Amino acid sequence: MCGRFVNLLPTEAMARLFEAVPGNDLPDGERYNICPTNMITTAVSEDGQRRLRAMRWGFLPHWYKTPTDGPLIINARAEGIATKPAFREAIRSRRCLVPASGFFEWTKGAEGARLPWYIRPADAGPMVMAGVWQDWEREGARMTTVAIVTCAAGGGLEALHHRMPVILAAEDWPLWLGESGHGAAVLMRPSPEGSLAWHRVDPAVNSNRATGPELIEPMADG
């Protein structure tokens, strides 16, 4: 799964990366501990133009009467996504790219302690995760919400967790965004061997209030 992630890319860098027009309400600055319900930057393709849009991380199905009317949906499992009522329309026509620098995963230590790991591209470049989005509106309140698509872990990451976000290579972005035809389902697969690297980080990141570059620094014994 993906429950926390990092994005150190400035808005200008993301606009260049995706050749996209940035919105006016994007969260900016280095973000070391992005948590569910935070606003995040995404890239979408609309009317022949890529745009950067701010979305709430936590997908709200149209039948939710309030944002807390059901479970917080931060991930969408690739398996069955095309038939699940919450996602079947979004996966067909509302796909997006979620830029990141890396994400966190946890293993269990002695006596059940949560041991955090920081996972990033092995080449230290940007990471682009697959997302699906949904506009939600009730009684005049409106927000655009997003879930990160996940698949079975691969590339050696299975040792840490059985799930991982779907990470898209640059050549796959047009297909995922629907710019180059149909068939995006083939992209929902694990990352190849050697494409990711990871290391232990300080348990301080276990708090959703923690922030700062020390959260992604390797532990001495990690």
Work out the average pLDDT over 166-176. Answer: 97
pLDDT digits (tens, 9 = 90+) for 42-77: 999 999 999 999 999 999 999 999 999 999 999 999
- Is residue 212 in a domain? no
Residue 62 lies in a domain: yes
In a domain, 50, yes or no: yes
Supply the range of the domain harboring residue 140: 5-205
pTM score of the predicted model: 0.96
- Residue 71 domain flag: yes
**CATH classification at residue 150:** 3.90.1680.10
Asked whether residue 217 is domain-assigned, the answer is no
For the chain, the domain total comes to 1
**pLDDT for residue 28:** 87
Is the residue at 178 inside a domain? yes
pLDDT in tens, 72-104: 999 999 999 999 999 999 999 999 999 999 999
**Strands annotated E in 101-222:** 102-108, 114-121, 127-138, 141-152, 163-165, 196-200
Answer whether residue 10 is part of any domain: yes
Burial of 142 (0-12, 13-18, 19+ CB in 10 A): exposed
